[in-house]
Structure 1
Amino acid sequence: MLKPILSVATLAIAFTAMPAQAWGPHGHRITATIAQDNVSGRTRAEIAEILGAETLAEASTFPDEERSNPDPFWQETASPFHYVTLPDGTRVIDMAHPPEGDALTALERFTAVLRDANAPAEERQLALRFVVHIVSDLHMPLHAGRPGDRGGNDVRVDWFGQQTNLHWVWDEGMIQRQQLSFSEYAERLEGRMTPGKVIAWWDADPATWIGESVALRERIYPATGPEAGLGTLEAPVRLGYDYNWQWSPDVEHRLMQSGIRLAAYLDKVFAES
Structure 2
Amino acid sequence: MEMAGCKMQMMLALCCFIMLATLPPIHGWGTDGHSIICKIAQSRLSDAAADSVNELLPKWAEDDLGSVCSWADQVRFRYRWSSPLHFINTPEICSYKYTNNLTESLLFLSHFMGDIHQACSRIPKSDENSKFHYRKKKGITLMSITFQPLHVGFAADKGGNTIDVHWYRRKAVLHHVWDTDIIETAEKRFYDSNVDSLVDAIQQNITSEWADEVKRWETCGLNKTACPDQYASEGIKAACDWAYKGVQQESVLEDDYFLSRLPIVHRRLAQGGVRLAATLNRIFG
TM-score by structure 2 length? Answer: 0.70
Contact 2:166-2:172 at 8 Å conserved across structures: yes
Letter in 2 for 1:152: G
Corresponding residue of 1:23: 29
Contact 2:56-2:140 at 8 Å conserved across structures: no
Corresponding residue of 2:105: 105
**Structure 2 Cα separation of the partners of residues 159 and 111 of structure 1:** 41
What do residues 123-180 of structure 1 show as CA deviations (whole Å, max 9, x unaligned)? x985733xx23x1x1x111011221211101011011111111101111111111223
Pair 1:201 & 2:217 matched: yes
Pair 1:221 & 2:244 matched: yes
Gap regions ≥5 residues in structure 1: 1-17, 225-229
What SS does the corresponding residue of 2:161 show, helix, strand or coil? coil
What SS does the corresponding residue of 2:26 show, helix, strand or coil? coil
Contact 1:113-1:127 at 8 Å conserved across structures: no
Pair 1:192 & 2:216 matched: no
Contact 2:90-2:155 at 8 Å conserved across structures: yes
1:214/1:266 Cα in 2 relative to 1: closer, same or farther (>3 Å)?
same
Q: How does 1:77-156 map to 2 (within 5 A)?
A: 77-89=81-93, 92=96, 94-97=97-100, 101-102=101-102, 105=105, 108-109=108-109, 112=112, 115=116, 128-129=141-142, 132-133=143-144, 135=145, 137=146, 139-156=147-164
Deviation of the 1:43 alpha carbon? 0.8
**Structure 2 Cα separation of the partners of residues 24 and 111 of structure 1:** 29
CA RMSD of aligned residues (A): 2.9
Pair 1:211 & 2:206 matched: no
What do residues 7-30 of structure 1 show as CA deviations (whole Å, max 9, x unaligned)? xxxxxxxxxxx9521211101100
1:197/1:215 Cα in 2 relative to 1: closer, same or farther (>3 Å)?
same
What do residues 238-269 of structure 1 show as CA deviations (whole Å, max 9, x unaligned)? 11111001111101011111110111111122
1:182/1:111 Cα in 2 relative to 1: closer, same or farther (>3 Å)?
farther
**Structure 2 Cα separation of the partners of residues 181 and 24 of structure 1:** 15
**Structure 2 Cα separation of the partners of residues 111 and 61 of structure 1:** 25
1:59/1:106 Cα in 2 relative to 1: closer, same or farther (>3 Å)?
farther
**Structure 2 Cα separation of the partners of residues 125 and 200 of structure 1:** 36
**Structure 1 Cα separation of the partners of residues 205 and 182 of structure 2:** 18
What SS does the corresponding residue of 1:84 show, helix, strand or coil? coil
1:169/1:61 Cα in 2 relative to 1: closer, same or farther (>3 Å)?
same
1:108/1:128 Cα in 2 relative to 1: closer, same or farther (>3 Å)?
farther
Gap regions ≥5 residues in structure 2: 1-23, 121-128, 220-225
Deviation of the 1:67 alpha carbon? 2.1
Deviation of the 1:87 alpha carbon? 2.6
1:169/1:34 Cα in 2 relative to 1: closer, same or farther (>3 Å)?
same
Letter in 1 for 2:102: D
Deviation of the 1:51 alpha carbon? 1.9
Corresponding residue of 2:185: 177
